[in-house]
Amino acid sequence: MSRILRPFLPYPLLSVGLAVTWLLLNAPLSPGSAVLALLVGLTVPAVMRALRPPAVRVRAPSTLARLLVVVLYDMVRSNIDVGRIILGLRRGTRRTGFVAIPLDLREPFGLAVLSIILTATPGTLWVRYDSGTGRLLLHVLDYTDGDEWVRRVKDRYERPLMQIFARGDSA
């Protein structure tokens, strides 16, 4: 991109993506929504430039692919489990509960992805993270054994995310 446009469009793909998303969410197209889409597309990337987010480097693309498969499987399975609970097809008593999970993951991007995974999976919700202690508080719709939840989060999500977002030696 030319040096002339760089100050106005620091992240051109983000600008286009935001403007198109704005237009799609505010259909039908009108002159006002087009102007607002343009403003959003130009303003948000300018703010992003001021924040100067560090570049993300994915270290293990094959691990990322495996994690994606695990997350999709867990989401389908959780949807079925939550559906059974809601429809009353699950035998026994259901208990909700909170689980404190000690995390070794400290990389901000890895933590952000973990929060998305856990909150997007039906039946679990990321409640709080204490960066001082590395403890995550997770709410679980169908609480069984806290130790099982700790192992599940650490083995299925945290370890792969630590490999994917590992810091390089040159950092």
Structure tokens at 78: 């959780």
d(CA 76, CA 72): 6
Per-residue pLDDT for 115 more than 90? yes
- Structural domain includes residue 7: no
Tokens 């607002």, located at residue: 36
Structural domain range at position 102 = 61-164
pTM: 0.72
pLDDT digits (tens, 9 = 90+) for 116-125: 999 999 999 9
Q: Could you tell me if 80 and 40 lie in one domain?
A: no
- Structural domain includes residue 169: no
Work out the mean pLDDT of the chain and round it to a whole number. 88
Of the pLDDT bands very low, low, confident and very high (cuts 50, 70, 90), residue 171 is: very low
Annotate 44-61 with b (16+ C-beta within 10 A) or e (fewer).
bbeeeeeeeeeeeeeebe
Per-residue pLDDT for 154 more than 50? yes
Q: Could you tell me if 34 and 99 lie in one domain?
A: no
**Mean pLDDT value across residues 149-158:** 95
d(CA 97, CA 22): 38
Q: How many domains does the chain have?
A: 2
d(CA 107, CA 163): 11
97 vs 92 pLDDT, higher one:
97
Q: Could you tell me if 75 and 141 lie in one domain?
A: yes
